[in-house]
Structures are given as C-alpha cells and as structure tokens.
A and B are shown apart, each in its own frame.
Chain A
C-alpha cells in the first residue's frame, strides 16, 4: 500500500510507532534425499507472504483470522522470534533503547527509526525492552518453578534495571499493583499453580509490562480464559494502555472481542491481509467475501438463531500454505467468484488483486472492487 521509501517520505509518521512493509516469513520444508539428488527446488511454508500495515501510537491494532493464516507468525516476526525472509519492520524506540540498539550494532535510520527485520542478533536483547509479547496460554507461559516474584524480577536482572534487590522488589510490587494483584506481598511468594487462570494471565501481562515497553504483541490473551473473566483482562489491557501509553498488536480469532477493544482490524487469510480498516466499519460493512463469510459464521447468544441454518458463503477448506493457489489465494473458496465467473475469470485465478483503498482508511484486496 504505502511505499515510504520510494516516495522519499519519512519512514514513520509522527503519530506512528511501527510500519511493516512487505513482510515475508517462510519456513523451509525438509527435502528428501531424492529431492536433493534430482535437484528439486526447496519448498517453503509461506506463513506470512508479503503484508504491510502501520500501527499508530497508543493504538490497538488487531490481526484477525483463522488458525494458520499467519497472524501469530506476524506477531513473532515483529519481536524477531522467527527468521524473516524479506520486507521491513520500521520501529521508533525511545531514546535510551535507541542508543542501546546503536551501541549493539544496529543501523539507525532517518528520524531515530530502526528496521527490526535488519537488526543484527546482538541488538535483539535491547529491542526486547521496547517490544514485548503476551502469550495465549497462561498455563504454559509461566515457569512453574519460579515464584511470581522471581518471574517478574528476571527481566529486570536480564536488562540491568533496578540496581539493588530492594529496588527491583519495589518495581515488582508496583507492577503487581498495576495489574491489580493486590496486595502484592500476597502474590510475590506464590507459584503459578497456586493462581487461577485469570491471575496467571495478569502475571504474564505484568512480566511484559515491567520493562515499560512501547509496543506489546498480545497473542490471543483471553481465549484460554473463561468467558466470565475475559472482560476483566481486556479492561486491564486497556487501562494499561492509558496509564503506560503502550500500543498493542492484538492477535485474535474472535471478531466480537476485536470489536470491543480494537481501533483498526486487519483480516488475514493464508499469509496475506485481505481487508484492513476501522474495526467497527470492517465488522459492520465488510467488503471482502472472506471477511463477509467470517462474520456470517460467528454465533451470537440469540435463541432465534436455532430456527434457521446459517448461510456461510465459503467452499471447501483452507489450502496448505505450501501450495498457495495462483492469483487471488481465496478464489478456490470464493462464492462471489463462482457467481460472476465469466466476468472474473481473467482476474481472480490469474493475478493477485491489488490492495486498494475502497473508502477512507479502508483497504481491500479483491478483484470485485478493483478492475
């Protein structure tokens, strides 16, 4: 969509914190001995296959899609947990992290911006102070042998924040209060198994927040929790955004949750963003046939629903990310394509649709709207 470099514009606008440009994350498949002998080319799982978006300061930017669409891989790429094949991730950290990154061999671009995708291995540790992640499963993401205090003190020790133990304990107590695990003394000595799922997720949030990051990637942070406490965790995340000024990349499969907390939504399908725009607008007025099907499929607590069949306009199953269909990658499942086959035959199966603005700030990648 926006090509910053060519246009000679700034890499990041003043209100932006992150710009992802044509990001690609491919995982190589193992080749058999016969493949190597016959010289077959290496094949890849194209988990993320050229996506672009920006995140504004204090924004909640949502990546939505079904399992396997590449939303988690995108999140992991932004904190450099997976090898990046191509593209750029421009990010503007605060002054002290920037100096630290520079000291560790990172190239600093115009306007105090770094390209996360191009950071040398040595600079990844200082990056973590600015970009953190919250994982889906609070049962798996906490070390069962660490007390809550040890879990929260660890990042401080690693990053050399808080010079004395007293100082660190003070910081731990303060973050526990911020995530409303009060009084903090009651929780510091406990182990994860002594906490409920919601409390564990608060600890995981505290661990991400204790370094005062500017951007937090929250990967399905409420989907493992009971419905009755989800709203509490979402409210906490929004409260921390206000208080700490953090931006979120919120990854979820649940569009209803996205509607409540997200400013903008990007809908992903098979490694691409198919639609991007204001959260409520995308949900109320989706353009892309895939987004439309996704929204039509979501159940709601209305007993009238049982009297009718749901009309889901989508065929077949998600293809493998190894053999991505040519042209628009959604066309083999697209009902709209079938209905207007004669018109669309020359487009959908042949060429990838461009990512175009259909109304202000609302982008769609579909041949129905850009011929």
Chain B
C-alpha cells in the first residue's frame, strides 16, 4: 500500500471575483521512502496541493472533492481536532516557504522545537529540550543554538531549524514547500545535501515543491509537472528529465539555463497561464502550446500511461 494516495483532488478558492480552481482533479501516489518533486510556475497549484494534504487550506479555499489517503486515513474527511491529534506533526509535517518567517521571534529555538514534543508526546520540558538538542545536531547545528533567538541565526541556519522542527515527531511524510528559494546557492546546496542525508538515514518520504527543476533533480525520485491546476505529466525522474512527453514539460526543460555543456538558445513559452476562474474548455495549455490541435480546445485530454509509471495528459498521446 502506498504511503499517500491522492485521488481526483479538487481544491477551489471561493473569491468574490469568482471560483478559482487552483487544484482541479489531481491524482498521484507516493511510496515509503520516495521523494516526489512537484514543479510548476507560480500559481500552478503546487503549494495548494501541499496545504490540502495538511488539510490547512486557508479560507476562502476549500477541498471540494477527492480523497487524500495518508497511511490508510482520509485526511480530507477528518475534523480539525482529529487532524491536530493524529495527522499533523505525527503523520505529516511541513517545511514552509520562507522558513525565515516561520519561526516566532519571541521564543528561543529550543522552545520552538520542544513545543510539539511536549504537546504531542507528553514529554517533560527537560526531556523535550534534550530531544531538541539531538534534532539540532541531526540537521548540522550545534546544541548551543537551543538558547538562541531566531534573529541571531542566518537564513540557512533558520532553514535547518525549521527542518529540525518538521522532523521532531519523525513523521513518515515531510512536505517541503520551496525549502531553498530564498537562500544563496552555497547554502541551498548544503540544505539539499542535508535533505538527501535525512532521506537516506530515515527512509522518509518527501514531497518537494519547487519552481526550479534543477532543485527537483537534486532530490526527487518521481517528478510531477503542474500547469494551471492540473498535473500534466508524472513519472520517474529519469522519464521526466530524459524523455519528457508533454509539450509544456519539454519547453520548461529547454528554458533552463545550464552551467555545463553547449550554450543552446534558451526557449521560452510565449503568453501567460490562464485565469483559473475561467480556464480554457479543453487542455489548459492550449493557448500557449506549439503543438496544439483543434481537439485540444474542445475536450480535456485524458491521462495516458505512455510507459510504465509515466503518465501524460495530452492529446498527442491519446487516441480518439
């Protein structure tokens, strides 16, 4: 049984200007010890998927339909108190985007890491602090950091603290939402090394969300490409990077400037993603797609398995 199974998830935002279909029928599974990378442009719904799995979608957003089976439990159907006692921290935790601001400035680092241990495991303060010190050492920080305040730490150190917090109850699934976006490259590489090490040692499952396919390639076994609320392609990292099938994935990969190899002309994707209050009737990539056909504007493409474990939602692969 997979650790996580998301089936036909729809999360909409009910704004005054209309219903924004941020995530619109997304399905995937994740096994134990596997890293799924979710890539896509801003507004493609990748963070909304993360918030949905935590069942933490901020209003006016709501999970409209679909199921999120995590370790045999449908997270979408649980009450707030059940989520707090059984799911968050214990089963799934999140490293939020902009971790610099995810720490409260008025408590010490030690107290912030210890708090979930006291709340969830009923540890005494002394025990929890000792455990917090171990967690800090696990993410490569000195235990003297326990008594520091967030403002005394650098951005990379704060990011390590936030990762330590996410690991506090050793949940089987950690969601990392743009964990390195605000960091310098050297610090980014250090954090990615840390995540690699933790994955190996703890056999953790990770959902890594990033707009940067290079960062995804550093960690992900499986890659999903989001576009305008839909998962347009998903497969193993090798399948997506070496044999992309969706025109969007192909263009996205060609738009990345590379540091090694020949300097080819960079591609770009003309136009902008659609307004998710009124998405195009057929394929959502239709207006920007260089390979578009008439059918693409009429009907949504079905999801086709092009090779084992490699799924694409594109009419080029579907037989009508």
A residues with a Cβ closer than 8 A to B are: 66-67, 196, 198, 226-232, 234-235, 253-257, 259-260, 280, 283, 293-303, 305-306, 309-310, 312, 314, 317
Binds A, one of B58-66, B73-81, B85-93, B258-266: B258-266
Question: What's the Cα separation between A297 and B187 when bound, in Å?
Answer: 8
Contact of B217 among A295, A301, A312, A314 (CB under 8 A): A301
Cβ A306 vs Cβ B218 within 8 A: yes
Cβ B190 vs Cβ A300 within 8 A: no
Query: Can you sample 28 A-B contacts with CB below 8 Å?
Result: A66-B184, A226-B42, A227-B41, A227-B255, A228-B255, A229-B272, A230-B266, A231-B268, A232-B268, A232-B270, A253-B185, A257-B257, A294-B186, A297-B188, A298-B189, A298-B214, A299-B192, A299-B212, A300-B217, A300-B258, A300-B259, A301-B213, A301-B258, A303-B236, A303-B240, A306-B219, A310-B192, A312-B186
Cβ A303 vs Cβ B268 within 8 A: no
Question: What's the Cα separation between A226 and B39 when bound, in Å?
Answer: 12
Question: What's the Cα separation between A223 and B268 when bound, in Å?
Answer: 15
Question: What's the Cα separation between A294 and B187 when bound, in Å?
Answer: 10
Whether a CB of chain A sits under 8 angstroms from the CB of B237 is yes
Task: Provide the residues of chain A in CB contact with B214, threshold 8 Å.
Answer: 298-301
Cβ B237 vs Cβ A256 within 8 A: no
Task: Provide the residues of chain B in CB contact with A256, threshold 8 Å.
Answer: 256-259
A314/B186 contact (C-beta < 8 A), A230-B268, A300-B258, A306-B219 known: yes
Digitize B243-279: 1 where CB-to-A-CB distance is under 8 Å, 0 elsewhere.
0000000011101111110010011111010000000
15 more A-B contacts (CB under 8 A) besides A232-B270, A310-B193? A196-B272, A226-B211, A227-B41, A230-B268, A231-B266, A260-B257, A293-B186, A297-B188, A300-B258, A303-B236, A303-B242, A305-B218, A306-B219, A310-B192, A310-B218
Cβ B270 vs Cβ A306 within 8 A: no
Task: Provide the residues of chain B in CB contact with A301, threshold 8 Å.
Answer: 213-214, 216-217, 241, 253, 256, 258
Cβ B196 vs Cβ A259 within 8 A: no
Digitize B170-203: 1 where CB-to-A-CB distance is under 8 Å, 0 elsewhere.
0000000000000011101110110011000000
Task: Provide the residues of chain A in CB contact with B267, threshold 8 Å.
Answer: 231
A67/B255 contact (C-beta < 8 A), A260-B263, A303-B237, A309-B197 known: no
Task: Provide the residues of chain B in CB contact with A294, threshold 8 Å.
Answer: 185-186
Task: Provide the residues of chain A in CB contact with B192, threshold 8 Å.
Answer: 299, 310
Cβ A227 vs Cβ B211 within 8 A: yes
Choose among B35, B242, B258 the residue with the greatest number of A CB atoms under 10 Å from its CB: B258
Contact of A295 among B197, B251, B259, B263 (CB under 8 A): B259
Contact of B260 among A232, A260, A300 (CB under 8 A): A300
Task: Provide the residues of chain A in CB contact with B42, threshold 8 Å.
Answer: 226
Cβ B218 vs Cβ A229 within 8 A: no
Question: What's the Cα separation between A260 and B1 when bound, in Å?
Answer: 46
Measured CB to CB, the closest approach of chain B to A197, in angstroms, equals: 8
Whether a CB of chain A sits under 8 angstroms from the CB of B238 is yes
Choose among B188, B220, B257 the residue with the greatest number of A CB atoms under 10 Å from its CB: B257
Question: What's the Cα separation between A280 and B221 when bound, in Å?
Answer: 32
Cβ A306 vs Cβ B255 within 8 A: no
Question: What's the Cα separation between A280 and B257 when bound, in Å?
Answer: 13
Choose among A255, A301, A312 the residue with the greatest number of B CB atoms under 10 Å from its CB: A301
Task: Provide the residues of chain A in CB contact with B219, threshold 8 Å.
Answer: 306
Cβ A259 vs Cβ B259 within 8 A: yes
